[in-house]
Amino acid sequence: MQIKVLGPGCPNCEEMTRRVKQAVDELGIEAEIEKVTDMAEIMKHTMSTPGLVVDGKLVHAGKPLPPVEKIKSMIGG
């Protein structure tokens, strides 16, 4: 599974990455987490950061950040 966290590097994006890692750990699945900071790349998916893309599909964008439990269901646990 390929997971991308989209965001220019603000505190919210860091927090999002942390929660995604925790969700992946708790689910115990194999996933590659990539942080995308390139604006053109981010803009292909969303205007609201932080964004979460799972296997090429946008599943979350902007604030408020979803709780870890919700992220688990987003990445299909």
> Which residues are marked as active site?
10, 13
Amino acid code (one letter) for 10: C
- φ, ψ (nearest 5 deg) of residue 54: -115, 120
Total residues binding other proteins (CB under 8 A):
27
Amino acid code (one letter) for 3: I
Dihedral sign for Cα 34, 40, 45, 48, please. positive
Toward other proteins, which CB reaches closer, 62 or 77? 62
- 2-61 binders of other proteins (CB under 8 A): 7-8, 10-13, 39-40, 42-49, 58-61
Binding site for other proteins (CB under 8 A): 7-8, 10-13, 39-40, 42-49, 58-67, 70
